[in-house]
Amino acid sequence: FFSRFTALVPVDTRRSPMDTIPKIDVQHLFYGTPQKPDTLRALKAALVDGPGFVRIFLSESILPHSLIGTCYDRAKAFHALPEEVKAKYHHSKDPRARGWVPKGEEPDYEVSRKSLVSAFDMGREMPVGGTNGDVNMGPNVWPTEDECPGFRGSVYLFYSLMSCVSGTVFRALAEIFDLPPETFAQHATENSRATQRLLYYPAKGDGAATSDAEAEALGISRHTDFEVFTIMHQTSTGLQLAPRQAPEEWIDAPDLEPGEFLMIIGDMMERWTNGVLKATPHRVLHTPWERFSLIRFNGVQSSAVIEPLPPFVTKDRPAQYKATTQGAHMDEVNRRLDAGLGAQGTASL
């Protein structure tokens, strides 16, 4: 069900990122056009034999491109609010840690290496406990309309439309391996761990003189994501991705064309596929220019059991990962981060 692995070859850093990162048009998956089989083959080639990540194009009918710009305008307006206003929405005041994460409070994914980013985090609007009693589900924290006009409406519309894209990708990730389309999607319920972050990276050198720790810091230090897959957008370069053929090297994520996003694999998909797909290490440089990004994490419900599925386990390729759940995995990663142990190699925890 999966093709032979290609020989490991060094990344040719002379290639442009646009050539290095394959691109697929999601509308063929979304609408089931005659080009869907070719699109699935291209997606599989990119994830299994290629770098392990892909550029995806979302047509205007799936996601109005103007909404991307609107969300960035709203994100800039929020991050420009006075500190005392943003402090009302500090993530520590919310049981689900939604809201504002100030610069300097992002975890050290690499031990003792600071991440110089601030964020606004949100998810699906749900009653407290969701519909299954999960303490991670509940309402969002929002600035008022007077404080940040249009913020809630635009940001939540973007989240909702990306949820439709997420469902299509969940099904496609099964179909590329000739598995039933709902293999993964059945676990992506309304109670899924699916967070959206509006990230702000100040330009290097902004503000007061930096400490030695900040001089060595990154925008966000190296890590893999803890969910199934992640869809990413950025206003300018700075994001770097490690290809599966050479995980200690970096490819600069390109400037994105209108409607383009990046999709990377997370820890849970690596475990489900017994390592056939690999979680993508990535980081963000501390750039001399200001950056914003929109990040949509696509996890499954906390109780979903994640272990190598039978089609990916053979005599020559025994199960390499123990069973866990989405919730237990995230709890363990957060425990390690709180203990100052970093978050390296989390797919194998």
pLDDT in tens, the chain (349 residues): 333 222 222 333 334 455 589 999 999 999 999 999 999 999 999 999 999 999 999 999 999 999 999 999 999 999 999 999 999 999 999 999 999 999 999 999 999 999 999 999 999 999 999 999 999 999 999 999 999 999 999 999 999 999 999 999 999 999 999 999 999 999 999 999 999 999 999 999 765 545 656 667 899 999 999 999 999 999 999 999 999 999 999 999 999 999 999 999 999 999 999 999 999 999 999 999 999 999 999 999 999 999 999 999 999 999 999 999 999 999 999 999 999 999 999 999 9
Residue 64 zone, left/alpha/beta (φ > 0; ψ -120 to 50; rest): beta
Report the distance separating Cα 343 and Cα 113, nearest Å. 11
What is the residue-wise DSSP string for 161-199? HHHHHHHHHHHHHHHTTT--THHHHTT--TTB---EEEE
d(C-alpha 144, C-alpha 161), whole Å: 22
3-state secondary structure 331-343: HHHHHHHHCCCCC
pTM of the model: 0.93
Four-CA torsion 274, 335, 120, 166, nearest 10 degrees = 20
According to DSSP, the residues that pair with 204 across neighbouring strands are: none
Q: Which of 120, 264, 263, 138 is nearest to 193 (CA)?
A: 138
